Chain A
Amino acid sequence: MSTPLIETIHTSKIFEVRKGLLGVKRHIRAVDDVSLNIQENEIVALVGESGCGKSTLGRLMLALLKPDEGQVKFRDKDIWSLKGEEFKEFRRSAQLIPQDPYSTLNPMKKVISALYPQLLKYKIASNRSEARKMSAELLEMVGLSPPEDFLNRYPCRLSGGQMQRISIARALSVKPSFIVADEAVSMLDASLRIEILDILLNLRKKFSTAYLFITHDLAIARYFAAGERIAIMYLGNIVEVGDTEEVIQNPMHPYTKALIMSVPVPDPKLAKERGLPPLRSLEIPSLVELPSGCKFHTRCPYAEKICEEKMPELREVKNRLVACHLY
């Protein structure tokens, strides 16, 4: 494999929480020893239930959060050791598309002010009128036309779908090589989702951008990362990484199996046939008091003695990475 565009190397992020007035400080390992790499022009879908650390991992990769352990490398350089021009280049190269379209734009500022400051900062446009022209082109690119209608609007006069398109235009305005799309379509109407996903996929062809596509929806991940990779996350750990279609068709990690089982199927017969012994518990363990050994053993139908004692490492099994003692 060539040098990845961006990779985390045994990266952990620990948050401190204090319970009660005089409570003891506790630590939450939101991201726990995660090693994940993304190649140039690659899509990696990151799937997991809410609170499992997906967004935290995304923010670590964007240098919005500093890892407490391990490293995040961009083109083989630790992003926290970058200085001056190099860091500026990283800031231009890695962008975010946040989840909630309604808070992704500054409510007090016109649409154009979400686009032109960065065009001027990175000298993509040499003056204001050129920046304005480019902003209009960006809006047209994400399907907002005529763009002049939108440039001078305030976000309160836009729909959720329109805001998300502008959010995409803003992320692409600096021609990044890597984008973290954090649940970018989960708050949109189902009818709009595919449309927005297609815009992202089409623009990827044009700009060859790599994506970390964070979602809790397997169907969306399957559509967006078709032919690419998927990573399954559970309580701060990556438990399975592999080709999207292979992982979904033939999940290996019990958690992945459970996750795929949980997707409702319209045919009850078919649903029964998919067969997986029921989970031992439906309760997600507390992040503050994580189970020993494999974090999934409290719920895993296949759990054995070793699962309670030893944390399984991510190992290569049949063309994919799985963290489970079964393999």
Chain B
Amino acid sequence: MEGKTKRSIVGIMLSAVRAWIYEPLTLLATDKRAVAGFLIVLFYVGLAVIGPMVVPLDLTPNLERAYLPPSLEHPLGTDPWGRDIFAQLVHGAPDMLVVAFLAGLVTVLIGTVVGIFSGYSGGTVDLIVMTITDIVLTIPGFPLLMVIAAFLIGSGIEVNIFMAAALLSITSWAGLARAVRSQILSIKKEPYIEVSQTLGLGKLHIIFSEIMPNILPYIVMNLILSMIGALYSYVGLMALGLLPYRPGNWGAMMHMAMAVSGTVTGVGSWYVLAPAAAVTILQIGLVLFSNGVDKIFNPRLREK
């Protein structure tokens, strides 16, 4: 490596692609379940990004075509107002993915920061922060979400996707914060942390360069699990009609299906089953994918 002090930008980019995309993918490829999950998630992302450009969404009611079974023209049939269910699913996908990802991100961010802060500080700070965390842990999350959502609707505040994401992570960070804290407590006593101290490398180095790599696999795994949780809550709130209606939203579709009693009569079963299946398959994909994450981040699990 000596002598190569100046590398071209292309070279740096190539090695970055190698380190951040190619190598993780080869590691992922060793786990079939993770590959399956990755492909499912990739399919959904493709659906959300490209789908709305390809599949037109026509929301004008046409009662003559109501409750049609699946056909070539309508792959998943039509809803009680004669609109294509597949097109609605496709147009709802970006919203679902963005909210799930943002909510997962916020959850993990709060959980990690609180956990590291509490565990690394120790003493009284740790005691106070963890007591607050414990209180948040005991709050039943979903009922609280229902109350807040109902309040938001009642007060007429417009709920955008960022608010929805923040709302969904309102209690879910607590469990992660506790788990991260306990990991910090054991890691900070490791000899390599002591040596970093005697080398005078500083707190920031210790937290970001020594501790972080050790909890990163766990955090990424939790990002995915939090996304799963957020997705369920989001669909659930929408299905209960507690968040403002958004056309194409999968939860909102279920809500409409229930409203026109498609669930009871069975006539409109496609209208309720299609979004439910869409959510479930995405969740399965995420769960499977999360299995591969540990392998990517943990050198001890890599086999070469």
A153's closest neighbor in chain B, by CB?
B299
Are B5 and A129 interface neighbours, CB within 8 A?
Answer: yes
Q: How far is the CB of A315 from chain B (nearest CB, A)?
A: 33
Task: Give the 6 A-B residue pairs with the shortest CB-CB distance, closest first.
Answer: A91-B200, A98-B191, A108-B213, A154-B299, A118-B199, A96-B198
Q: How far is the CB of B221 from chain A (nearest CB, A)?
A: 15
- A-B residue pairs in contact (CB < 8 Å), sample of 17: A63-B198, A87-B200, A92-B200, A94-B198, A95-B198, A96-B198, A98-B194, A104-B195, A108-B213, A114-B192, A117-B199, A117-B209, A121-B199, A133-B2, A170-B195, A170-B199, A174-B199
Interface centre among A87, A98, A171 (most CB of B within 10 A): A98
Are B198 and A103 interface neighbours, CB within 8 A?
Answer: no
Q: How far is the CB of A127 from chain B (nearest CB, A)?
A: 7
Contact residue among A100, A113, A154 (Cβ-Cβ distance under 8 Å from B209): A113
Q: How far is the CB of A101 from chain B (nearest CB, A)?
A: 9
How many residues on the A side are at the interface (Cβ–Cβ under 8 A)? Answer: 37
Residues of A bordering B, CB below 8 Å? 59, 62-64, 87-88, 91-92, 94-96, 98-100, 103-109, 113-114, 117-118, 121, 127, 129, 132-133, 148, 154, 156, 167, 170-171, 174
Does more than half of chain B's interface fall in helix, strand or loop, or is it mixed? Answer: helix
State the CA gap A44–B5 with chains docked (Å). Answer: 43
What bracket does the count of chain B residues touching chain A fall in? Answer: 20 to 34
Are A117 and B214 interface neighbours, CB within 8 A?
Answer: no
Are A129 and B2 interface neighbours, CB within 8 A?
Answer: yes
Are A127 and B214 interface neighbours, CB within 8 A?
Answer: no
- Judged by a CB distance under 8 angstroms, whether B261 is at the interface is no
- Judged by a CB distance under 8 angstroms, whether B197 is at the interface is yes
Chain B contacts of A156 at CB under 8 A?
Answer: 299-300
State the CA gap A202–B205 with chains docked (Å). Answer: 32
Are B198 and A64 interface neighbours, CB within 8 A?
Answer: yes
Contact residue among A104, A127, A148, A167 (Cβ-Cβ distance under 8 Å from B1): A148
- Judged by a CB distance under 8 angstroms, whether B126 is at the interface is no
Chain B contacts of A59 at CB under 8 A?
Answer: 194
Query: Beyond the given A91-B198, A107-B214, A107-B299, could you list 9 further A-B residue pairs with CB under 8 A, ordered by the A residue number?
Result: A59-B194, A92-B199, A95-B195, A95-B199, A108-B299, A109-B209, A109-B210, A118-B199, A121-B201
Give the residues from 33 to 57 in chain B that come closer than 8 angstroms, CB to CB, to chain A: none
Give the residues from 177 to 229 in chain B that come closer than 8 angstroms, CB to CB, to chain A: 190-192, 194-195, 197-201, 205, 209-210, 213-214, 216
Chain B contacts of A170 at CB under 8 A?
Answer: 195, 199
State the CA gap A105–B196 with chains docked (Å). Answer: 10
Are A62 and B4 interface neighbours, CB within 8 A?
Answer: no
Are A127 and B5 interface neighbours, CB within 8 A?
Answer: yes
Chain A contacts of B198 at CB under 8 A?
Answer: 62-64, 91, 94-96
- Judged by a CB distance under 8 angstroms, whether B298 is at the interface is yes
Chain A contacts of B300 at CB under 8 A?
Answer: 107, 154, 156
State the CA gap A113–B210 with chains docked (Å). Answer: 10
State the CA gap A114–B209 with chains docked (Å). Answer: 10
Interface centre among B194, B199, B297, B298 (most CB of A within 10 A): B199
B5's closest neighbor in chain A, by CB?
A129
